[in-house]
Structure 1
Amino acid sequence: MDRQKISRLIGRNWWNGVGGTGISTGSGRRQPPLYVGQFCRLLSAGLLLQNTLLKGSLLLVAFLTLLLPSAARAYIEFPYAATFQTIRMPHLPRGGEPWKENQWELMLSAGWMNVWSIQSDRFIMDGEELTFNAAISYGITDRVRMGVVFPYVVQGGGIMDSSIERFHSVIGVTQGQRDRFPRNRLNVSYEPLGEIYPFLMRLERFLEAKYLPRAYPRNPLDPPIDLQLEPESLYLAGIDPARIPEDTMGGSNRSGPGQVRFYIDYGIPVSYGSGFASVEGAVVSLQAARQSSSSLIGGGTGNSASVSLAFFSPRAPNNAYWVMGVSYSAFERSEFRLLELPAQQWSIRPRIGYDLDGVDLFMEYVFFTSPVKDFGKLSADAHQIGLGLGTDVGAYRLEVAIIENFLTYSTTPDVGMHLALRRTL
């Protein structure tokens, strides 16, 4: 790659977000900036530290006091994605559960995810994310319902790294470089220009010699690499010298509100076929998400909207049922730092279940298309499976599930867990 090509690349991408410092989290101190950018026991064990867990717990207790019983065949309210891995949250298909006019439903859920993903010269994602969702919906008519979901997101190093490494050893699975990095610490970095580091390192005019050579994969204890540009070099690269590179990702545990999602569901009666393959109805859902107000990723995630269509079969005791949904999402934000993001995203979500004497045993498969464009393994499509059950517990409907990725592993959490309570009024 010649110098002119490198200069054009830097000039085109440098200020698309963060500039040359990139993104990096790890220890409490400022981490090496990037170059020129998964029961109740587990959840209560404390992924969070100090006030973070306390605040989340108080929110849970307060909302539980409002939960005044619920039919279940709904998709679980689990994100199937970590914000620091996909950057923008996918809009998954909705629908499948019945509702009535003037009926309120309240739902409280918690999801925990452990993320480990690495690709040399591209990215490292090592951390855990806990999401609390408080949701409320109202049946305007028997066919129209509207609702809103309020997420609260916590990111941190977590507590499960050692347990996961032991489990991998027992079943004979490699650690995938997990053991090379500090445990139970948030360590997230993107290296959009990693492929051309060897070329940039030769430009002593751009880099201080004391930071060379650059070891990779990046170790969180490595010293920083700073791009030292003289004013004339900035002009040659097409950069405004008045702008200062920013690095808004901290190394400590963080929490804050996630994207608030509004939705409107429209039910369509359908009568087709017989037996397990028969269709009882369909739900068209419109969703809109408001930009996150927290700096979990180092800035706003942009507004987004989606439309989804889900078909579902009849439901009867001691019988199997299914739900099949597909969604199309459009995003306001098409770039993050130096990363290019697709403007649209597709997701597919089939669910199969069996009603066993009031206990709903289910399996969900979730697929969504690439969250990032042209960025190695982070541009792979996502595949996940959720296995769980739902049952009545007193006046409430309880759901528990475990989520596991497969086929591709870089764009989805390693393992996840879901817990939810529902009640209809």
Structure 2
Amino acid sequence: MSVDNLLDRALVRLDEAASHLKIDPDVIELLKYPRETTKARLMIRMDDGSRKSFLAWRCRYDDTRGPTKGGIRFHPDANADEAETLAFWMTFKCAVMNLPYGGGKGAVQVDPRKLSKAELERLSRAYIRAFGRIIGPNRDIPAPDVYTNSMIMGWMADEYAHIVGEAVPDVITGKPVTLGGSLGRDDATARGGYYLIRHLAPELGLNGTMRVAVQGFGNAGQHIASLLAADGHKIVAVSDSGGAIKASDGLNLDVLREAKAAGKSVTDTAGDFGHVRCEDDEVIGAPCDLLVPAALEDMIHEKNASSVNARVILELANGPITSEADKLLAAKNVIVLPDILANAGGVTVSYFEWVQNRQGFYWSLVEIHERLRAIMEREGREIWNVAQQNKSTVRAAAYIQALKRLAEAIEAHGTQTYFAS
């Protein structure tokens, strides 16, 4: 996707939210730019004895409400502008959920699929050596993101412990449970979205059995499909990087999960259990009640938005709908539950992990789920009410709510209005 479009979208959301509030200009000036972005070149020894370098970044966008929080992604197209924009989104996501964090993001420009496991470990540890002075449990707390996982977080936490000379489990979240990770982290993103949909179902007009299409059948996509299917809803179409599949009477999720676990595509199940291969855009336009984009950015755009037949869209991916498509969907009265609310279950359970690490006392899975449900319902209800009061989209309401909280924190330090009075 175009980085310019990503940055423009972020600033458009900020300006739109500000138009609904009486905001001191100091607030907008502070939030237009990241607090700091650090760039490093990571040099590692490859398995063949050669040395290779990789560009890496860590952005701390805003820390007014607390230490910055955000994942580290390993991706060949990663760059500084993307990291800064994603950190901007994290700033607003944490404010939406009323978590005591600002937003951060990290990235390494690498295709991890081309590295051996040993090379991947060296790269992960090199990242912490480069940014060890940037991160910290009270300053900046990384987590997994695209192409990073709990194993990588475990390596990073271990490297940080070697640097500072003591175990500091709260420096990174998303770790293996045996190394201080939290129960419930594996399905947290999807579960948060599931709780949100279930709570707002009457207002969304989603009563009775739903027909659901899931665009992106990775971790979040598989979990949301399983949670909804367990409630009796029908998953009628899904897609992954290998293609798309549909079944008007509902897909067999067990077969789909087995295919993914074996490293195959969902399309490899075509011909069985009524599964029919289809075009990717047929998932976007599937006749359904709920559409769940759970893959990459900009998957719903001005060229395919008009084909959407869903009543509600739940954004489990970050930025899956372009601003142009947003307008088209609003004109069709499609309700979009935005990413900074819908997929915030992940950062919320990351917060739970940080809290548990700091107190040295760990909660049961039932406690994790109950705490997550309570927060998703509370903040979802608050944002729904803001949307009704402002006669705005739910996305605009989420940004309004987040900006209001950020503004209150920024203004508490004093702004032009205070100092000029």
* Fold conserved between structures, TM > 0.5: no
Q: Flag the structure with higher strand content.
A: 1
Q: Flag the structure with higher helix content.
A: 2
| Structure showing greater Rg | 1
Q: TM-score, normalised by structure 2?
A: 0.25
Higher RCO, Cα 8 Å, sep 6+: 1
Q: TM-score, normalised by structure 1?
A: 0.25
